[in-house]
Amino acid sequence: MIDNPEYKGEWKAKMIDNPAYKGVWKAKQIDNPKYEADVYAYDNIGYVGLDLWIVNDGTIFDNILVTDSKKEADAHADKHWAKIKEGEKEAKEAFDKAKKDAEEKTKKADEDDDDADDDEKDEL
């Protein structure tokens, strides 16, 4: 390595003085007579919309609870989700095993086809 005699340290953008600077810009605030500070002031929300991007195959969503209380969410989970947790785990393991078996079967079939192609080339 050769030293660079013109090197003056890490480069930084030059800053110039701005006497008119008044701090970080903020949008102007205007009165909105329809503004409600508490958007959760509804007695009954009948629907929930979810916009999801699923990356993993086989992802399932059900039993959705909307609440602002961790205590209520934990109680609901203990009452409902804990009962089906093991069954879902077993179902996923069975699904994964079946998927793996199918992939192995397909791979073996592909290898058999490749061997048959090689035999045909040898005969020619």
| Residue 34 counted as domain residue | yes
Domain region containing 61: 22-124
The model's pTM: 0.36
pLDDT of residue 44: 76
User: In order along the chain (124 residues), what is the average pLDDT of each group of 10 residues?
Assistant: 88 88 88 79 74 76 82 90 82 91 87 65 58
| Residue 119 counted as domain residue | yes
| Residue 109 counted as domain residue | yes
Q: How many domains does the chain have?
A: 1
pLDDT of residue 122: 58
Residue range 2-37, pLDDT digits in tens = 889 888 888 888 888 988 888 898 888 899 888 877
Give the integer Cα–Cα distance in Å for 104 and 65: 39
Give the integer Cα–Cα distance in Å for 9 and 42: 59
pLDDT of residue 36: 77
pLDDT of residue 65: 84
pLDDT of residue 41: 64
| Residue 9 counted as domain residue | no
Give the integer Cα–Cα distance in Å for 38 and 33: 14
Give the integer Cα–Cα distance in Å for 87 and 84: 5
